[in-house]
Structure 1
Amino acid sequence: MQEAESLLEKNVRLAIDARDEFWNAVNKNAESGYNKALVAGSIGSYGAFLADGSEYSGLYGQSIGVAELKDFHRRRLQVLAGASPDLLAFETIPSRLETQAIVELLEEEDIHIPSWISFSTVDGEHAP
């Protein structure tokens, strides 16, 4: 677990370093016209961890609730937020319950990093 957390932090730091190196090089030469790139720490769905296809359906079973989903996401969120990305991206979340857990968790952990949640749906309109 320690190694995985270290790798999450390292990934964010490498992306920030690469962005800053590029930005400094571009701005040394002339007015670039580029907007400064932002680094997002990305957090996937619970279903992706299960690797059973539920990352597409959002059907995680009846035994998983908001509290369990918050517990699942909490440490990765803490580690990524601690690495100071510009943004947090919760990617392809297929379930309203998981979305609720993420929003509550951001509030509970007092995270003030701009964040977004992208969704996947079973039919383009509905999430379980």
Structure 2
Amino acid sequence: MNIAINNDPDVEYKNEVILGYTLKEAVCIVAAIAIVVSVTVGAYVLKGIEPDKGCYIGIPFAFPIIFFGFRKFDGLTLFQLIREMKYERKTKCLTYDADEVEEYTTPVTLVKSEMRKKK
């Protein structure tokens, strides 16, 4: 028996702003185009390189903007991933000390004993 279950609309469907892209994706596309145009103009003014060849010079500079604008890491954007990594580093030293633990045992920690002695 196959039962159809509705998908979560927040996850399944994107909020489209322009031409099927989200706001973040559209801003990344505009920023990448601005980078390519500025590199092309700079190459033409400074070195006299033709604009059609200058576009090819600007593409490697715009690629990281496009990549991080569209790529998701485990469902997180780049900024969310960085925020989660910072939070994980802050909470690295987690301790556990429950009242149910008998008196002769020591609390369990995730930090090596050498690191505790340095503090």
Q: TM-score normalised to the size of structure 1?
A: 0.28
Instruction: Kindly indicate which of the two structures has a greater share of residues assigned to strand.
Output: 1
Larger Rg: 2
Asked which structure has the greater RCO (Cα within 8 Å, sep 6+), the reply is: 1
Instruction: Kindly indicate which of the two structures has a greater share of residues assigned to helix.
Output: 2
